[in-house]
Amino acid sequence: MNSPIRIVIADDHVLVRQGIRAFLETHADLDIVGEAEDGTEALRLCVEKQPHVALIDLVMPGGGIETTRTIREACPETQVVLLTSFEDPQQIVAAVRAGALSCLLKDVDADALAEAVRKAARGEAVLHQRVAARLMELLRKENEPGSEMLDLLSQREREVLALVAEGLNNQLIAERLGIGEKTVKTHVSNVLGKLDVSDRTQAAVFAWKSGLKQRPQH
């Protein structure tokens, strides 16, 4: 890549943003084109600036995972690098499934951060060593679905999954929960994505195996 790598930084702490900018601006091949303090502003900047890389805080207003998903949908050429202070494997799995390419802990040094940005611009993933170890541990556990995977779901998504396991369609789920059918459809789609299953039957099987819902007796 001959032209500078365009970068958007999103973090709700101004000192963190300024620190990252100060680190990266010492590299001639990196160009900070925007800063955001929440997910809405991050998405707006990515649509406007079309950066090569978006550095997104995992925990910020608007949510790092949801922000990652919306950026990847709106700007498929922008690669997302998640920055986090926590080694939470469930959150990392959810972020990767939402479209994040890389995940780094905030204690990463400046040179490593710059190199991770360069790799992201080339489509190459980077995981912090400690995050990778926790992630592998979680993925091994996924062979036996349980509470670890349920932690990926919001409370409403768990409620929807339980009703899917009862065999209810979207209309009946909407009536049961008092929400719109379109909203139910969105929740079901999110559940399938987070659990990495392809249809409602597989989701129901997960709900039974994880203990969220007892398998119906026939």
Where is the domain boundary, 139, 162, 192?
139
pLDDT in tens, 14-60: 999 999 999 999 999 999 999 999 999 999 999 999 999 999 999 99
Residue-range definition of the domain harbouring residue 151: 147-210
Where is the domain boundary, 139, 160, 192?
139
Calpha distance 66→125 (Å, rounded): 19
Calpha distance 54→39 (Å, rounded): 11
pTM, to two decimals: 0.63
What parts of the chain have a pLDDT lower than 50?
218
CB neighbourhood size of 179 (10 A): 16
Which amino acid, residue 155?
Q
Q: What is the CATH number of the domain that holds 177?
A: 1.10.10.10
